[in-house]
Structure 1
Amino acid sequence: MAQKSNNLATNRKARHDYFIEDTIEAGIELKGTEVKSIRKGKSNISDAYVDIDGGEVFINNMHVSPYEQGNIHNMDPLRKRKLLLHREEIRRLERVVTLKGYTLIPLNLYLSRGRVKVQLATARGKKLYDKRDTLAKKDANRKIEQALKQKYI
């Protein structure tokens, strides 16, 4: 798992909009100056999603800003990027997505031993009442923590 200092981008909307069931680490195929741009923190995965197409896994709608000194080596910021997984992992993910109706979403983009990795999650979408319930629980826990803090001060 990545450490805090290696975290490059986080999808904060994911835990609000989905029930996260399982996570998996995947490599990402980058071209040109995309690695330099990602290392500078010029990436966004909040609207990104993952597709399985023809036995390969792709991340769509992940924005990587062009590198300032990249000139002709810069790529399209929203291009489709291939994710690197073992064949067995791809088959398992494909079964989960097609049979159980889950979706694949990216949670984090981070560095692991100098390489850019993506943490993927199999997730189920939340309904509006689920989101309200989650917010109510979070609010109740916050009030309990504040009351305990005031009691011990």
Structure 2
Amino acid sequence: MAPRTSKGPPPGTALDAGLRLLGRRAHSRVELLLKLTRRGFEGMAIRDALKRLEELGYLDDRAFARSFVRRRGSARGPRALSAELAARGVDRAEVDTALAGFGPDEQLAAATRIAERLYATKPVYSRQELLDGIGTKLVRRGFSMGVARAACLSVLAGAASPTDS
């Protein structure tokens, strides 16, 4: 195959390129728009392709946001998830809908699992050390102070309880 010398649109259609990109991983509408634009497709062709992909059910920001929260919710808190989805161009209403399923119980469970993992790699001895070290890391991952504190206290209580019963 000879190398392309012109800066014209790539071979194939914007729809084909969109399908290939979506075959690799889910994308938000804005992500796909940007990728197709960078690949040199014309604006009208991109709009038509995005519309067709939505009609076919392959491009759905609501489903993308829900899936993103399910996948990443075990490692990130709601603030971080919200920021990541916003950076990917997902509408605020869709983000809020997706995060509605990531309630306080799920947040606490995720934060506690992370805190347990962090505690296992470097156990701390005082409550303050735990809150300062692990609690700060949880807040940086997007959990609220209240959830981070509750997760740290849960880990501390678990570490203090006898496991030889």
Q: Calculate the TM-score normalised by the size of structure 2.
A: 0.28
Q: Calculate the TM-score normalised by the size of structure 1.
A: 0.29
Larger Rg: 2
Relative contact order higher in (CA < 8 Å, ≥ 6 apart): 1
Structure with greater proportional helix content:
2
Structure with greater proportional strand content:
1
